[in-house]
Amino acid sequence: MESELKTFDSKENEPLQAVHESSSKDDRPLLKSDSNANSPKVSGVEELEELEKKYAAYVRKDVYGTMGRGELPLVEKLLLGFAAVTLVPIRVVVSISILLIYYLICRICTISIAPTRDEEQEDYAHMGGWRRSVVVQCGRFLSRALLFTLGFYWISEANRNTDTAEILTSENEGKEQSEEPERPGAIISNHVSYLDILYHMSSSFPSFVAKNLLMFNSKCLGCVYVQRESKASDFKGVSGVVTERVKEAHQNESAPQMMLFPEGTTTNGDYLLPFKTGAFLSKVPILPVILRYPYRRFSPAWDSISGVRHVILLLCQFVNYIEVTRLPVYYPSQEEKDDPKLYAHNVRKLMASEGGLTMSDIGLAEKRIYHAALNGNNRLPSVLHQKDD
């Protein structure tokens, strides 16, 4: 989620604070064009190719083209029209029904109990007994049902064996794997779409970092909310809360695991952006998971397309696909525990090798620049051109 970029690495990325301050004043979507901008939109094949080469991690390659606004063949238009009047209404009604059912389940299971409040966070992550069991099991089932409704009828899942991971990480000198298996405190995944969260909910039902605008349901997941930093001297911030949650999940089997996207934003699924270190500050083992969305017509990746257009085209897609690769639990060496950047780099390198992903050095700042260029808005704050630390 893009909000993770603004929180996990707040201590290390202080130069980007100007971006956060300006975004609070102008909270427009990335792809919303500036109606008052005088700069022309990207014109010319050569200019577009240059942009796509520079910001390759965010370039759409499906039949719908750049920003999902490409010229479509007649057959594709007919398929869209047919799906819009038949498939879309059914999927919308069923999806809303599923969300309402789970909302009611969460409400019933939280009757007469107070949420846990800590550092301006409020959730039901530590709810136990039958309540927790019902919330988790129903949440997993309904998340899978929602994916099915959206056309993800089959999910291909593969588990890589330990030998493969050991070969790929043999370059790390002094690596000492634990003799006894330990519970990973967090699930580390590449970030391709908002659909990633639905899959992980259906698979392991973890907690994740979210904006405080989500529904009541997210409180039952134990989400860590992104909020403005408090001026209190003892305020831990989101990064501190996440670190504590990861450590707790590692030590306590009943505590929900954290689901973290260290890239900080979504890509087109072919690249892996630099990892933020917030997910690795806890110094505990993690579980790397790689997601891919094979496609024939429409790519489910949420890269350079607006949210509304993406949802509409996704609903019009008859069949969608997810491929999941789970790597063995990654146990950090002492050197990696002492250096979160090294820990993050090595995990990223392993995931890129196992997932066949290309490692890219661009981030959210470059994504905003690319989106602005596509919309013809070149009047961005100069700070956006700074590289992420």
In tens, the pLDDT along 118-131 reads 655 666 666 778 88
Q: How far apart are CA 229 and CA 22, in angstroms?
A: 15
Residue-averaged pLDDT of the chain: 79
pTM comes to 0.79
pLDDT in tens, 361-380: 998 889 988 888 888 755 44
Residue 171 has pLDDT above 60, yes or no: no
164 CB burial (10 A radius; 0-12, 13-18, 19+): middle
Question: Angle, nearest 10°, between helix axes 364-374 and 45-54?
Answer: 170
Predicted local distance difference test score (pLDDT) of residue 212: 58
What's the chain's length in residues?
A: 389
pLDDT of residue 361: 93
Question: For 328, phi and psi rounded to 5 degrees?
Answer: -60, 155
Nearest to 60, CA basis, from 307, 313, 299, 321? 299
Query: Percent of the chain at pLDDT above 70?
Result: 72
Q: How many Cβ atoms sit within 10 Å of the Cβ of residue 366?
A: 21
The token pair at 134 is: 């019902």
- Helix 74-109 vs helix 307-316: angle between axes, to the nearest 10 degrees? 100
Q: Report which DSSP code applies to 286.
A: E
More confident residue, 110 or 211: 110
pLDDT of residue 30 exceeding 60, the answer is no
The C-alpha atoms of residue 289 and residue 326 are separated, in whole angstroms, by 5
Arithmetic mean of pLDDT, 344-349: 95
In terms of Cβ atoms closer than 10 Å to its own Cβ (0-12, 13-18, 19+), residue 25 is exposed
Q: What is the pLDDT of residue 245?
A: 87
Q: Which residues contact 88 (CB under 8 A, 6 or more apart)?
A: 312, 315, 316
The mean pLDDT of 184-212, rounded to a whole number, is: 90
| C-alpha R_g of the chain | 21
Q: Does residue 82 carry a pLDDT above 60?
A: yes
Summarised one tens digit per residue, pLDDT across range 232-277 is 444 467 778 888 889 988 998 888 889 999 998 999 999 999 999 8
Residue 2 has pLDDT above 70, yes or no: no
The strand pair at 286-292 and 186-189 is best described as parallel
- Out of 45-49, 69-73, 284-288, pick the least confident: 45-49
Helix axes 129-149, 195-203, angle to 10 degrees: 130
Q: Is the pLDDT of residue 206 over 50?
A: yes
The sign of the dihedral angle between the CA atoms of 124, 127, 130, 132 is positive
